[in-house]
Structure 1
Amino acid sequence: MIFELGRILQDHSDYFSFLRLVNYITFRAIMAALSAAVFMFVFSRPFIFEMHRLGFQDQDRDTGLAVHDKSGTPTMGGLLIIGAIVFSLGLWGNWTSPFLLYPLIAMLWHGAMGVWDDYAKIRRGSGNRGMSERMKLLLQSLFSAGFAWAMVGPLSPMGPEMATRIYVPFIKYPLFNLHPVLYGFFIFLFVIFVSNAVNLTDGLDGLAITPSLFVIGVLGVFAYVEGNTIYSSYLFYPYLRGAGELTVFAAACAGAGLGFLWYNAYPAQIFMGDTGSLAIGGTMAVISVLLKQEFLFPILGGLFVAEALTSQIQDKIGVRWLGRRIFYRAPLHHDLQHKGIAETKVVIRLWIISGLLALLALATLKIR
């Protein structure tokens, strides 16, 4: 709203010349972050109270650990995060840009899935009885297939020449052009994996949101570089016209995430639930694809990758194939808890690891 209004008014009178600020990605990104954070601080307490009143509270899940029961804490905090991001982008985003629309659609789609999952758990009174795994995979597959088709087809904001190029960290030039069908299948799997990885990480107070801030913040830096002709040329990155809008999107996510962390830090007053974790994961995946940074994610989102792999190895290989556990507990954060490390120490140490991985990912901007 402010972005569009500023573009209209600045050309009609010198009195509104200051509105030329909205033409700068950096200004809009800062304001988007601040707007989202203010939204969170204004609406979080009423939202928490309302969740208590409605009985929308976290349900106990059997992890096999003698830890503090977190049932009774309000959930669906992801609705707050999504609301803050949409509000902020409504003020500062360019809604004609596909670089804004694609991650927004991903966030809303996966957020709606999360609402269904969280509500099912509340209604059935069990943290293990939400949406069925088959239904969740079906809904994720529908979005991933549609997004993959858009990225390799005429709806790709990168154009046909750039759409199927494969870029990897530390190498200046694209390795090769992948066949559209193969690249589409890769996108399909990538989006499903990342959205589930963040979902699996969300198990302790504040654990998922801070690494998410690191990942989205770094992706915002990459968006700024790739959307700028000078910086992208200097650093040998593909120039993606309009990709700077993802910087504004990432900033809105960061502001919302920081505001949420205020209430989600130990002891948590609210959980994001699957509403938040699925929405954040789907958004991360889509932004990574739009920036051609899919192969950066194993570095940048290394914590999420480790959480997902430990969970899948335990379930698919250990329990189903071998008939025994490979890890004491899965995913990773529960294994660390099983070894006697306090919850807060587990969370902070994993934050530190995630921060270091984010710095390594940033280093790839120059080390090419």
Structure 2
Amino acid sequence: MLELLGQLEDQSQFFNLFNYITFRTGGAMFTAMVIAFAIGAPFIAWLRKKQGKGQPIRSDGPEGHLLTKKGTPTMGGLIILISLGISSLLWADLENPYVWAVLLVTLSFGTIGFIDDFAKVTKQHHGGLSAKVRLGAEFGAALLAVLIMLVAEWVATTPGQTHDVQGFFNALMAGDPLTAVALPFVQGWGVQLLGFYIIFAMIVITGFGNAVNLTDGLDGLAIVPVMIAAATFGMICYLVGRVDYSAYLGIPHVAGVSELATILGALLGGSLGFLWYNAPPARVFMGDTGSLALGGLLGAVAVASKHEVVLAIVGGLFVLETLSVMVQVAVFKRTGKRVFLMAPVHHHFEKLGWQEPTIVIRFWIISTIFALAGLATLKLR
């Protein structure tokens, strides 16, 4: 589509707008939002008809949570993925390898989540895919995406050189910026991981996918923090991809990463449309289909933009939710006692008697604070 519009540029200056990432990001957001609103209601009706009893609800959950959620269909994340996918194909530069790497993670994780959701709905049981199969598939998709992004960065930073497998392996072991991890508040490149960077990047993508998945437990709880993180990283990607802005801010420059702003714009638009139906009381849950895909997308974008550590700040809410589960499990195995009344931590507050909207809105506020802190790291270096 961009190639066709480029040919029309000589006939009208209007078509020159499509050369600007900011314009295409806005277009991607609007397109995805319209698609999500258009397909949302009929798609939810179809899911309700097909799923019958809907997503199985935890029997050990808070009483209010248990009674009000029965019968709600899941897999609503497909609304976001469909709108995001169509909008990205229309507005993004499809010759950009980072676009395909991020879409690969998004669709792969979405497929894994869909299979998991399908198993839960058909069996009416919480046991979906086994942890080993699920993590193995996630790490496999993450590995392929990381290799695509590293090769793209290597080729862009070594023009005129021969690019072969041996050369790529040498670059991984050479200790150059390709395999370095940038640190907040520090100019330029930080910690050098050499070839171990691939494993680190895979953990970031897979870990964040599952972190968002753990957070998705109340109506609207996960989707708004995802939108906040997406907006934040849309700005980060745009700045990282610009030579002038990245030099001024003292942050790593990665050529071509600005294009990911269009995908993040599509994510924002699709999420807005989904939120209309997911707002309390939710008419549909995003399920693992949505939460795994969106978390994986954010993780992949962080790896592409070399802001993996900043993702832990911007997505601090997801990190805290994950840590609450890890602490709960570790302490219980060791002592037989629970740190929280229920994990993830949002259920702890529900057990304490907090109303669901109170928990959700306060967590949104916390997510906004984390995002602002993450943005501050761009300047304070």
Q: TM-score range by the shorter chain?
A: over 0.9
Match of 1:355 among 358, 365, 368: 368
Unaligned runs of 5+ in 1: none
Tell whether the 8 Å contact from 2:101 to 2:148 is kept in structure 1 after alignment: no
Inter-partner Cα distance in structure 2 for 1:90 and 1:148: 21
Alpha-carbon deviation of 1:63? 3.4
Match of 2:313 among 286, 294, 299: 299
In the alignment, does 2:71 pair up with 1:46?
no
Partner of 2:136: 138
In the alignment, does 2:100 pair up with 1:101?
yes
Give the TM-score taking structure 2 as reference length. 0.91
Aligned length: 361
Amino acid at match of 2:55: D
Inter-partner Cα distance in structure 1 for 2:303 and 2:211: 16
Equivalences for residues 167-186 of structure 1 within 5 A: 167-180=182-195, 182-186=196-200
Inter-partner Cα distance in structure 2 for 1:187 and 1:122: 32
Amino acid at match of 1:42: A
In the alignment, does 2:347 pair up with 1:341?
no
In the alignment, does 2:58 pair up with 1:61?
yes
Amino acid at match of 2:100: L
Greater Cα shift, 90-99 or 139-148: 139-148
Match of 2:344 among 327, 331, 340: 331
Tell whether the 8 Å contact from 2:87 to 2:266 is kept in structure 1 after alignment: yes
Alpha-carbon deviation of 1:146? 2.9
Tell whether the 8 Å contact from 1:28 to 1:92 is kept in structure 2 after alignment: yes
Match of 1:275 among 273, 286, 289: 289
Query: Measured at CA, do residues 103 and 124 of structure 1 come closer, stay the same or move farther in structure 2, by a change above 3 Å?
Result: same
SS of alignment partner, residue 67 of structure 1: helix
Give the TM-score taking structure 1 as reference length. 0.94
Amino acid at match of 2:143: A
Amino acid at match of 2:326: Q
Alpha-carbon deviation of 1:150? 4.1
SS of alignment partner, residue 203 of structure 1: coil
SS of alignment partner, residue 72 of structure 1: coil
Match of 1:263 among 277, 288, 302: 277
Tell whether the 8 Å contact from 1:148 to 1:185 is kept in structure 2 after alignment: no
Equivalences for residues 220-231 of structure 1 within 5 A: 220-231=234-245
Amino acid at match of 1:59: P
Identity %: 39
Query: Measured at CA, do residues 158 and 192 of structure 1 come closer, stay the same or move farther in structure 2, by a change above 3 Å?
Result: farther
Amino acid at match of 1:249: I
Greater Cα shift, 170-179 or 144-153: 144-153
Tell whether the 8 Å contact from 2:277 to 2:283 is kept in structure 1 after alignment: yes
Query: Measured at CA, do residues 107 and 27 of structure 1 come closer, stay the same or move farther in structure 2, by a change above 3 Å?
Result: same
Tell whether the 8 Å contact from 2:97 to 2:149 is kept in structure 1 after alignment: no
Inter-partner Cα distance in structure 2 for 1:106 and 1:345: 33
Tell whether the 8 Å contact from 1:152 to 1:183 is kept in structure 2 after alignment: no
Inter-partner Cα distance in structure 1 for 2:205 and 2:336: 30
Partner of 2:33: 37
Partner of 2:82: 83
Alpha-carbon deviation of 1:174? 1.1
Alpha-carbon deviation of 1:326? 2.1
Let me know the Cα RMSD of the aligned residues. 1.6
